[in-house]
Amino acid sequence: MKIGVLALQGDFSEHINSIRRIGVEAAEIRLPHQLSDLDGLIIPGGESTTIGKLANAYDLLEPLRAFGRQKAIWGTCAGAIFLSKDAHRPQHLLGLMDIVVERNAFGRQVDSFEIDLDIPALCQDDEQHLPYHAVFIRAPLIERVEQDAQVLAALPDGRIVAAQQGRLLATSFHPELTQDDRFHRYFASLARESTGGPELRQE
C-alpha cells in the first residue's frame, strides 16, 4: 500500500507525515510516471490556481484525471477545489467530482477558524462518537453536491464542507494540520478498496 501526495505547491509535507504516522508508505509526486505504483493520491492545500497551472505545465492534468477514474484521490482545501467540476473562475480543474465550490467563501486569511464537527463516517468503529476538530484556512465551501457525490460533513448551519463520490474525497478543511488521523485512515481504507480487484492490481 502506497499513497502519493501531489507535491507541486502547498502543505504536502504535513500530509506525508500523517500518512507515515498511520503506518502507510508515502511518496511526493511531481511527475506523471510517479503515479503508476500508487494506491491513492492526496492533493494538498495551497493555492488552487497555482496547483492547476503547475499541473498543466508538468503535463499532469490528463494523467491525474485517468488516475482518479480508477483509484482514490483526496483533495484538502485547494485540493478539493482542484478536484471539483466548477469553481466559478477560469482555472485548471480536474473536474473529477460532481461538486461546485466557492473559493475563499469565509473571507480572508484572518477569517480562518477552527470548529468541532460531527462526521458520522469517521465514527463507524468508534462508540464514543468523538467530534472532529476541523481547521479552515481561507477555505472553500462546497456549494452543492450533484449526481453521485454525497455530503460527508457540514457546518452546524448546514453548509457543506466535505463530500465523497465513490473513492474520491473532498474536504474544505485540513486534517493534516491536526494529530487526529481518522481522516487519513478513512482515505487509506478507500485507497485499499480501489486496488483490491485483480483488474486494477498488476502484481
Buried b (16+ CB within 10 A) or exposed e, 178-195: bebbbbbebbbebbeebb
- Residues 69, 20, 14: CA angle, nearest 5 degrees: 80
In the complex, least distance from residue 103 CB atom to ligand GLN, rounded to whole angstroms: 4
Contacting range for ligand GLN; rule: CB under 6 A; set: 117-125, 132-140, 145-153, 178-186: 132-140
Nearer to ligand GLN, 103 or 182 (CB): 103
In this structure, what C-alpha cell is assigned to residue 27? 511518496
* Separation in Å, CA 118 to CA 51, 114, 138: 30, 13, 21
Site for ligand GLN in 35-74 (CB under 6 A): 45-48
In the complex, least distance from residue 43 CB atom to ligand GLN, rounded to whole angstroms: 10
Give how many residues touch ligand GLN by CB under 6 A.
12
Written as one letter, the residue type at 158 is G
Nearer to ligand GLN, 47 or 143 (CB): 47
Please tell me whether residue 77 binds ligand GLN under the rule CB under 6 A. Answer: yes
Q: What positions carry a catalytic annotation? A: 77, 174, 176
